Amino acid sequence: MSSKTVGVIGAGAWGTGLAQALARGGHKVVMWAMEQDVVDGINNKHENTRFLPEYILSDNITASLDIKEVATNKEFLILASPSLFLASTVKKILDVPSIADGSTCIGVLTKGFVPSDSGPKLILETLESVLPRVYKKSLVYIAGPSHAEEVAMGKLTGLIAASENPKNAIRFRELLNVKGLMVYSSLDVIGVQICAAAKNVVAVAFGILDAVSETSDDFGDNAKSLLFAAGLNEIQTLGFAMGATHAETFASLSGVGDLDVTCRSQYGRNRRFGQDIVKTNLLDKFNDLDDLISRINEVGYLPEGAVACKYVHEITEHHGIKLTICNSLYRLLNKEFSLDDILKGLIPN
């Protein structure tokens, strides 16, 4: 495939890791970041020391503080901003000609849910309400077991490109056909989005059990596998309640694959968050889940599962579905249950 021009909106770890993979494949990538030090580091030292330190980036990657410059005249644009700021960020580029006329193909990396007056919304649903109508059912959602560190290093990684527009999914598959990446298409955009968001909730619970099992006579590897399997079932239940269309989504890279790496990898922030709840009593400094979310920067890293847990709870209440793991974690983070209460409830008589 010939070299393409690619803009990446958001210079966090995942956006930077994928930008590095694309640049390694010969594409010209321009990244937008809000932070001057991130832009200077990428342009002058070829390193994103704030969000993906210790990785030397390709000369094919540059960065800018000007979001419109990054979005203008790009064949492909990849959105990687945090979910809470995604809509407001995208509104800044609506008057860019190649966005206004729909000539730029847009892919999305952002995971999670977006709050609204009518309840939590999925990422693509939110974007379609903001972007020009030409993008309706044409966005491509990119997900899978893909820690940024390994993607940046070029280690083999599988991804799903999900879109209701098969041609656009194929276009992104071709763009991402670079060393280290294997990309597959999916039409189940809802199911893939649910997997990407809800797996972080299960991973927090997995981290808690992982830490507890180090000193417990009651919990070990068998219990962690039990939690993993039950968590996957809950993700599938949530997915179908929200409109997922393909059962195989949950048995594929976007489902079991992404859940596995998020729960078990050394790079997993959500697993680490769960471990810290046990090992450092991290929740003691927060009054409830809303307080935790409002002060989440005090954690020192971003556990997306804590935020997603609140929205999953709201969705289960709305749909009247029972998700034992997700709802138990919600009550723990919201200070309604103690960890001892939850663990005792798991031990058979």
Burial of 65 from C-beta contacts in 10 A (0-12 / 13-18 / 19+) = middle
Task: Verify whether residue 199 is a known catalytic residue.
Answer: yes
SS (H, E, C) the chain: CCCCEEEEECCCHHHHHHHHHHHHCCCEEEEECCCHHHHHHHHHHCCECCCECCCCCCCCEEEECCHHHHHCCCCEEEECCCHHHHHHHHHHHCCCHHHHCCCCEEEECCCCEECCCCCCEEHHHHHHCCCCHHHCCCCEEEECCCCHHHHHHCCCEEEEEECCCHHHHHHHHHHCCCCCEEEEEECCHHHHHHHHHHHHHHHHHHHHHHHHHCCCCCCCHHHHHHHHHHHHHHHHHHHHHHCCCCHHHHHCHHHHHHHHHHHHCCCCHHHHHHHHHHHCCHHHHCCCHHHHHHCHHHHCCCCHHHHHHHHHHHHHHHHCCCCHHHHHHHHHHCCCCCHHHHHHHHCCC
Q: Which amino acid is at 174?
A: E
Instruction: Please identify which of the residues 4, 199, 322, 335 carries the catalytic annotation.
Output: 199
Catalytic residues: 199
